[in-house]
Structure 1
Amino acid sequence: MPRKRPGAVRAEHPTPRVWGPTPPARIHGLSARAALAVLRTERLNPGYLIHPGDTDRALRRYREFLHPPGRRPLYPQEAECSCSGCSFDDVRHARDVLEEILPILPPRARAELVRVLRPLDAALLRRTLPDPFTHRRSWRTEFWWYRRLARRW
């Protein structure tokens, strides 16, 4: 009796090729090791602002906001909706997400993310204007990106 070819046997009994969650997509500017550490941290330490994939989304939004070339000032715009999906319309929320993930990352991944954030923060500081009425506001924040002029609805 002739034997079946290995391909025919595998075709009869397909086995899943993926064991566990799919590997993370690369986060632009971070190594694969740091991206994996970020994904693990997002999954294991869910917070109010942190959900799986939010760090990558926040970095993309931050870069997108600073992307237009030129010297004209930029004004962050408040989000219309406060849900977790729409709140990324406000670049300050994206920076909040990055600030919240930093302390809970492993040291190497944290250092890598800080290296990516430093030039972006410098560009945001350079391209936005200080808010002269910050001291009059009823709410105070320790984060410097909220003390910049923003477009209000």
Structure 2
Amino acid sequence: MLFRAMLPADLDSVVRIESQSPSPWSPSSLLEEYNCPRGFQYVLLDGNLIVGWCALTLLDFEAELLKIAIDKSHRGQGLGQLLLKEALAHLEAQNVCEIFLEVRSHNTPACRLYAKNGFKQVGTRKNYYQNPADDALVLKKTVVNN
């Protein structure tokens, strides 16, 4: 597996993975996020095939994990853990102190992944998600203690 920064040529593969999500980002949203000056996007490759991706935003010493997604055909193999581990290492190298994220309350695999990696719930956003409706759990992890 190879973890690297996303390139413009990767957008079609990321759109394919996003289409499998209950809340997919549109191609225009992906391109907008790619062009965000504070944004960082990474892909995970198995050979030449992109099997996962993530998006982060850095704000001084805080970061937000905006998205982490694994291709359906590659789920259940620990790739979400690998992608998250690499993203957290990137943030640590940037001297980020805390990382926040929102996750669907009914997304049990993602909630387990984040809990396993030290994220703690710090809030709830009622009815945050649509199609299907769900609450967002707001999670936080301390990455580096300054």
TM range (shorter): 0.3 to 0.5
**Which structure has the greater CA radius of gyration?**
1
Q: Between Structure 1 and Structure 2, which shows a larger proportion of helix residues?
A: 1
* Structure with higher RCO (Cα < 8 A, 6+ apart): 1
TM-score calculated relative to the size of structure 2: 0.33
TM-score calculated relative to the size of structure 1: 0.32
